[in-house]
Structure 1
């Protein structure tokens, strides 16, 4: 509603004020060649704007003063509006940012009215064109520029406060406005130079100063584009280094989805892995609006398949529905531009990174170059993290049961002893009863199956209450942080019942069938610090309780260290 209101304000203000401006300050010195030259200069200044310290520089105020002094406020207002429209359209504004057009047109309309009014209020006169600089009134000219800056600042404050609802402190002069003031002051001699060149040599004189000025703008624009490319590639390189430092696949994706929306316009972001090309997998997705609607991934409907096959980035703009139905469904038809790049590792495409935005033509060749680099960094990071996790798992887990191993268990026990916040913790040592007999009777392969089955029941029974490890052979360990003797004994009894209550399946090779057998375990418990002051003593006491109090007392029971 506010955007519609701004559009209505501009229409009413424009068509209401133009007749008044025409009556107060009608066009003068109108010659087709001169007017055409000024119009061309206006368009060129709009098309070849450049940035300095993040500020868009259009030499509009320079040519604007000359136009005002030569042709009057009415012509200056019309050409300024035309110039701003050309500038905004050249910035590739999408539908979501279309409200910027009436806002800027309204702002510069008010700026034209304010600057022209100030000029006449301070004694400036509408005179014939003269090439004598002494005949120009510098105070009204200074007021022309000062009121232009002031009106521009006030209108911007109003837009931020009312339309965009951005909280800010009301300041007419702050650190951010210093550069704009400097630019405004530099425009004043430029505007006077335009006027004098026209006065001395007519439209050719203005063209003589316009050509080097536009050429300088083009050079500055190219320098600025190169600087932006360098800065973007530097940020990409820094981001890539951050990715390669992560040693967890989850953390790699977390960092990617956190940083990428800050580098480019991103409303949608997702990664498809082609580790198994016949079964590509959508592994992570980001939607700026946090939509929850589920869209099943189908490779034939997505841009990633083309990128994977061609091993080449695809950049596009416009409606994605006919080409890429998945992206269209994911964005509910809102995606207007997209960029999809391959993730290359050792010459192979292992995945595809896709970005999409609601704004048309959001991604340029600079974006493509940078994101291609990100895609390669991402591929390397994922492979490194995956290999690290595999090596870590191999070093910490038993390959047969996938439980933690002895090395990891000892590291955790030492950490518990050195943790001052942990007042008590317990350990359960357990051994499968008659395991040698099981191996001798049914074979080592069935013995391994029993070990895996016991490990699964331990994992299911203990859950998040403790840490389950394979101590070695047929022995297992459970660490229970925060549990005293009684709680530990209760958990041990629950484990014993879970193992003994249900049968285990083994394969009888002689008769080529599966048989059911019962398996029991003997358990011993010990608690720190009351039972032991170091890890070795804690383990020994639990092991001693298991053999003396459980094994030798009939097996299939829990014994507590005393």
Structure 2
């Protein structure tokens, strides 16, 4: 190696990167100069090379040789810089390098490249971090996609950035349809207007996660237009200075059906479908507290024990169901008809004075007595029955609903005493 070559070699050894000059000679691609890091990169020993230039292929591992050779040839041919990443398996493990190949010419006016200046920067730590990130991301994606609950993430503009498989099943959309779409697509129209304000409020709050709208039932909107009752837990994170929101959404259709069923069972008489005593008391008390006129009909089926004895309990049940249907139709949907228990019923007539209450009561009594109604009896077995009714009207001295109910009950007792199948009013 001449003096110029030695000075060049000293210069290259001082560079804290893998460096090599590659030229073409009669043997092919040859390294005319390189530093110690270049040998380390290739996993070769410096003392194995006795002279410069030496063939590039003598130092590059077989598995990396073809790719590197092709990159050098292309760099020489097109006269532009090239980059590639290569992994070298050494005794202490795999090392990743980013190689930059830059052609150089004898002069600025030269049309062809004389050789290639190769520099290499080790990126093993970066590649390991990327690998760990890919593994972590893959695990996260697997968990998200395998989750039973729907998981949706939106960015600060409320556009969807994550939509897992459970979300596809819940809302009926494919992931490709929903990515970058506004979240409002999944909300019923009535909920869309206030949703952005709610999210902005949560973004400003110090709370990082919470159950969304714990007090009210909330719904999502399926692709087919149907509403889905859901529970939602939301959380937020800051990514590059911007807030992202993630919602975990659970379909609670079965739970809602069960709650509604339990509520109905607690409020409705199973046999007749009318409100039960508890539901009637709750509603009647609230109506009593208003200033509007209010009347009560206390009703009892006459000689009901005889009906049971003659037709059996099934026949008695048929009579109770028939009366509930007739009373509901005759008294009207604007009023409340309930079953207190056994053969005893009550009606709360809203905005109804005494004259109108007596008229409604007499109309119902006469319709049943005259059998002036249509009802589909089981097995075409029409069972005759009659009705006694007591009427009471809310007065200025009434302080509680119980006073009104007591007077209506007294009227019912009087109707029974006076021969049944009649209407009596107290007060």
- Same fold by TM-score, threshold 0.5 exceeded? no
Rg bigger for which structure? Answer: 2
Relative contact order higher in (CA < 8 Å, ≥ 6 apart): 1
Q: Which structure has more helix as a fraction of its residues?
A: 1
